[in-house]
A and B are shown apart, each in its own frame.
Chain A
Amino acid sequence: MKIDIKLSGVGGQGILSIATVLGEAATSSGLHLKQAEVHGMSQRGGDVQSDLRLSTDTICSDLIPHGQADIIVSMEPMEALRYLPYLHREGWVVTSAKTFVNIPNYPDEQQLMAELDALPHVEHADIEALARDNGIPKSANMILLGMAARHIDILTPDSLRTAISRVFARKGEKVVADNLRAFSIGYEPK
Chain B
Amino acid sequence: MNTILLLGDEAVALGALHAGLSGVYAYPGTPSTEITEYIQKHPLARQRNVHSRWCTNEKTAMEAALGMSYAGKRALVCMKHVGMNVCADAFVNSAVTGVNGGLVVLAADDPSMHSSQNEQDSRFYGKFALVPILEPSDQQEAYDMMDFAYQLSEQTKLPVLMRIVTRLAHSRAAVHVGEPRPENALAPDHERTHWVLLPGNAKRQYASLVGKQADLEQRAQLSDYNRTEGNGQTGVIACGIGYNYVREANADDITLMKVSHYPLPAQLVRNLAAQCREIVVVEDGQPFVEEQVKALLGSVYPVGGRLTGRLPRTGELTPDSVAAAFGLQAETFFKPATNMAARPPQLCQGCGHRDVYAALNKVAADYPQARIFGDIGCYTLGALPPFQAIDSCVDMGASVTMAKGAADAGVFPAIAVIGDSTFTHSGMTGLLDAVNDHANITVIISDNLTTAMTGGQDSAGTHKYEAICLALGVEREHLHVVVPLPKNMEDITRIIRQEIEYQGVSVIIPQRECIQTFARHQREKKS
B contacts, CB < 8 Å to A:
3, 5, 7, 30-31, 33-34, 114-115, 167-168, 170-174, 241, 244-245, 247-248, 318-320, 323, 330-348, 378, 381, 385, 453-455
Check B345–A44 contact: CB distance below 8 A. Answer: yes
Q: Identify 9 new A-B residue pairs, CB closer than 8 A, beyond the known A46-B345, A61-B244.
A: A32-B173, A39-B30, A40-B454, A44-B378, A62-B167, A67-B332, A67-B333, A108-B339, A111-B339
Check A63–B319 contact: CB distance below 8 A. Answer: yes
Check A104–B385 contact: CB distance below 8 A. Answer: yes
Check A37–B170 contact: CB distance below 8 A. Answer: yes
> Nearest Cβ distance between residue A27 and chain B, in whole angstroms?
6
> Nearest Cβ distance between residue A40 and chain B, in whole angstroms?
3
Check A10–B343 contact: CB distance below 8 A. Answer: yes
Point out the residues of chain A lying under 8 angstroms from B114, CB to CB.
38, 40-42
Point out the residues of chain B lying under 8 angstroms from A39, CB to CB.
30-31, 33-34, 115, 170, 455
Point out the residues of chain A lying under 8 angstroms from B338, CB to CB.
115
Most chain A CB atoms below 10 A, which of B5, B343, B454:
B343
Beta-carbon nearest neighbor of B241 in chain A: A62
Point out the residues of chain B lying under 8 angstroms from A27, CB to CB.
3, 5, 174
A78 in contact with B339 given A44-B378, A60-B244 (CB within 8 Å): yes
> Nearest Cβ distance between residue B60 and chain A, in whole angstroms?
23
Check B333–A115 contact: CB distance below 8 A. Answer: no
Most chain A CB atoms below 10 A, which of B30, B245, B248:
B248
Check A37–B320 contact: CB distance below 8 A. Answer: no
Most chain B CB atoms below 10 A, which of A39, A59, A87, A89:
A39
- Docked Cα-Cα span, A37 to B335, in Å, equals 24
Most chain B CB atoms below 10 A, which of A59, A85, A89:
A85
Decide yes or no whether A43 CB sits under 8 A from chain B. Answer: yes
Check A62–B340 contact: CB distance below 8 A. Answer: no
Q: Mark A38-81, 1 if CB is under 8 A from B, else 0.
A: 11111111110000000000011111111110000000001101
- Docked Cα-Cα span, A105 to B343, in Å, equals 9
- Docked Cα-Cα span, A106 to B174, in Å, equals 39
> Nearest Cβ distance between residue B357 and chain A, in whole angstroms?
15
- Docked Cα-Cα span, A34 to B172, in Å, equals 6
Check A66–B385 contact: CB distance below 8 A. Answer: no
- Docked Cα-Cα span, A103 to B323, in Å, equals 35
Check A84–B172 contact: CB distance below 8 A. Answer: no
Pairs A–B under 8 Å by Cβ, sample size 20: A11-B345, A27-B3, A27-B174, A33-B172, A34-B173, A35-B171, A39-B33, A39-B170, A40-B453, A41-B345, A61-B244, A61-B248, A61-B319, A65-B320, A78-B337, A78-B339, A78-B343, A82-B340, A104-B385, A108-B339
